Amino acid sequence: MEYGGAEEKQQKTCSQEGMKTMRTVTLTKESTKDILENLLKRSPNHYGKFEDAVAEILKKVRKEGDRALFAYTKEFDKTEITAETIRVTEAEIQEAYDAVDPGLLEVIRKALVNIRSFHEKQKQNSWFSTTEEGTMLGQKVSPLKRVGVYVPGGKAVYPSSVLMNIVPAKVAGVDEIIMTTPPGKDGKVCPTTLVAAKEAGADAVYKVGGAQAVGALAYGTESIPKVDKIVGPGNIFVALAKKAVYGYVSIDSIAGPSEILVLADDTANPRYVAADLLSQAEHDELASAILITTSRELAEKVSREVDGFTEVLSRKDIIRKSLDNFGYILIAENMEEAIEAANEIASEHMEIVTENPFEVMMKVRNAGAIFIGPYSSEPLGDYFAGPNHVLPTNGTAKFFSPLSVDDFIKKSSIVYYSREALEKIHKDIEQFASAEQLTAHANSVAVRFENEDR
Query: Catalytic residue numbers?
Result: 348-349
Distance CA 307, CA 310 (A): 5
**Nearest alpha carbon to residue 54 among 231, 213, 178, 253:** 213
Q: How far is CA 25 from CA 115, 161, 349, in A?
A: 38, 34, 21
Bridge partners (DSSP) listed for residue 331: 26, 293
| Torsion angles phi and psi, residue 12, rounded to 5 | -85, -35
Judging by beta carbons within 10 Å of its beta carbon (0-12, 13-18, 19+), is residue 321 exposed, middle or buried?
middle
Judging by beta carbons within 10 Å of its beta carbon (0-12, 13-18, 19+), is residue 4 exposed, middle or buried?
exposed
Judging by beta carbons within 10 Å of its beta carbon (0-12, 13-18, 19+), is residue 37 exposed, middle or buried?
middle
Radius of gyration of the chain (CA): 26
Burial 93-119 (b: 16+ CB within 10 A, else e): beebeeebeeeeeeebeebbebbbebb
Q: How far is CA 372 from CA 62, 134, 136, 369, in A?
A: 46, 50, 44, 10
**Inter-helix orientation angle 296-312/270-281, to 10°:** 50
Tally: H helices and E strands in the chain = 19, 14
- Residue pair 142/410 in contact (Cβ under 8 Å)? The answer is yes
Distance CA 313, CA 303 (A): 15
**Nearest alpha carbon to residue 139 among 150, 129, 152, 126:** 126
Q: Is 55 left (phi over 0), alpha (psi -120 to 50) or beta?
A: alpha
Helix (H, G, I), strand (E, B) or coil at 294: coil
341: Cβ contacts below 8 Å, ≥ 6 apart = 27, 32, 292, 330, 332
Q: How many CB atoms within 10 Å of residue 131?
A: 10
Q: How many CB atoms within 10 Å of residue 387?
A: 20
